[in-house]
Structures are given as C-alpha cells and as structure tokens.
C-alpha cells in the first residue's frame, strides 16, 4: 500500500534545501517505489512530502542517500510521519 511521508525540518530554510536537494532529486527519480516529492516553507522551517509505494522503500532511500547529506543538528530536529494512502491518482 502506498504511503505519504511528511518530514518536518524546523530551522531549515529554502537556501539549505536548495543546496542539498538538486543532486538528490536526480537520484530519487530512479529509486524503486518513488512516486512524487514536494517541498514547501513553513513558519518554523521547511517540510517535505513524498509518496512512495511502501514505507520500507522510503526509509531505505532516506537512510542511504538523504541522512548522510544532512547536518546532525538538522537530523536531530526533524520529525517524520507516515500515512497509509487510500488512493493515488496520477496522470
């Protein structure tokens, strides 16, 4: 079943996202189970939303590619939520 992943990154700003994201965008497009990625600023930082075919695929991707590219203090402040999706509609 597909999952929506919401990552909240307090203290991250758009400049930090823009510095880390471009190389990861090219990699994530090739990952098994990846469906889509969105990112947006919030009053306290930055949020990322992703849709994956499974939570295990997203966690594997995050641990292998994202985690090593973020500062420890940002990782410590981040929170991640997973939501089972009822439906995913694509063009």
Confidence of residue 1 (pLDDT cuts 50, 70, 90): confident
Is 53 part of a structural domain of the chain? yes
Residue 15 maps to which CATH number?
3.30.70.100
The residues near 16 (Cβ < 8 Å, ≥ 6 apart) are: 46, 74
Q: Classify 84 as helix, strand or coil.
A: strand
The pLDDT assigned to 50 comes to 98
Are the beta carbons of 89 and 8 closer than 8 angstroms? no
User: Does pTM surpass 0.85?
Assistant: yes
Provide the domain count of the chain: 1
Is 73 part of a structural domain of the chain? yes
Confidence of residue 61 (pLDDT cuts 50, 70, 90): very high
The pLDDT assigned to 69 comes to 84
Is 24 part of a structural domain of the chain? yes
The residues near 13 (Cβ < 8 Å, ≥ 6 apart) are: 41, 45, 46
């Amino acid at each position: 079943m597909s999952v929506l992943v919401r990552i909240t990154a307090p203290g991250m700003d758009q400049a930090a996202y823009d510095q880390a994201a471009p190389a990861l965008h090219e990699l994530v497009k090739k990952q098994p189970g990846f469906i889509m990625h969105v990112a947006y600023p919030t009053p306290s930082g930055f949020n990322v939303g992703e849709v994956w075919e499974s939570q295990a695929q997203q966690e594997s991707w995050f641990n292998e590619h994202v985690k090593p590219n973020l500062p420890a203090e940002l990782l410590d402040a981040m929170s991640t939520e997973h939501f089972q999706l009822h439906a995913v509609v694509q063009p």
